[in-house]
Amino acid sequence: MNTPQEAAWRGEFGDRYTDRNMGKVPANRAFFRKALTSCRWFRMDEQHSILELGCGAGENLQALRQLYPAHHLEGVEINPKAVAIARGWGNAMIHEGSVLDFQPTRKYDLVLSKGFCIHIPPTELARAYDVLVRSSKRWVLVAEYYSPRPVEIPYRNAQISDGMLWKRDFAGDLLNAYQELRLVDYGFVYHRDPYPQDDLTWFLMEKTQ
Ligand SMILES: C[S@@+](CC[C@H](N)C(=O)[O-])C[C@H]1O[C@@H](n2cnc3c(N)ncnc32)[C@H](O)[C@@H]1O
């Protein structure tokens, strides 16, 4: 059964988000250059695979393509309008549907969530974490809003403002739940940076078994 959040992202709420959040590829490129510095083996000329959960219109995947021309890129996205834009770009395989139902048929060198886990209701988070970790061969990157204690925050610019956005220690949850993960690097990108993100805190983890 679908959660109210999945219904909202699939519908008009998700369409409106897609319309007002384009044009971030240069900032995303700067973000990944920084956040993936520790993946030293992630060389441009080798072919590795990357999966993004909640990839939106594909602006992270576009940035990753510019940094890593040979890599195999995939995304999972629930909003049909965003899926059409990401597919229209033509450089990544996009799975349309909910991450909470996604059954990966392979593993990826890197699996990432950027601004996705913050929109998953706490009761469903374990399912999203499971996809994130289970489908990764080696690296897991989460870039979300951090809070040491889980808190819900009202979602701005939306008719639906409750039950759509949470911040918490996503990486801490993952490190507690999955003993095979180790923290490799972390950082923060300020909204006043020349290549801004929305005050995102990111954590790069590696599977050790
Ligand atoms: C805040 S946007 C972030 C988009 C992209 N990751 C970025 O950094 O620009 C959240 C995205 O997650 C998608 N999403 C939310 N819940 C989802 C779910 N259960 N399964 C798949 N996608 C979902 C939304 O449709 C939206 O495109």
- The CATH number linked to 184 is 3.40.50.150
Confidence check: pLDDT of 63 > 90: yes
Looking at the CA of residue 18, tell me the nearest atom of ligand 1: 27
Q: How far is CA 115 from CA 43, 149, 209, in A?
A: 25, 18, 27
Output the ligand 1 site: residues, CB below 6 A.
Answer: 6, 9, 14, 54-56, 59-60, 76-79, 82, 98-100, 114-116, 119
Q: Give pLDDT tens digits for 140-188.
A: 999 999 999 999 998 876 567 789 999 999 999 999 999 999 999 999 9
pTM attached to this predicted model: 0.97
The whole domain housing 164 covers 4-207
Q: How remote is the CA of residue 54 from the centroid of ligand 1, in Å?
A: 3
State the total domains in the chain. Answer: 1
Alpha-helix residue ranges (DSSP H) falling in 11-147:
12-20, 25-35, 59-67, 80-89, 125-134
First-to-final CA distance of the chain = 34
pLDDT tens-digit readout, 16-34: 999 998 899 999 999 999 9
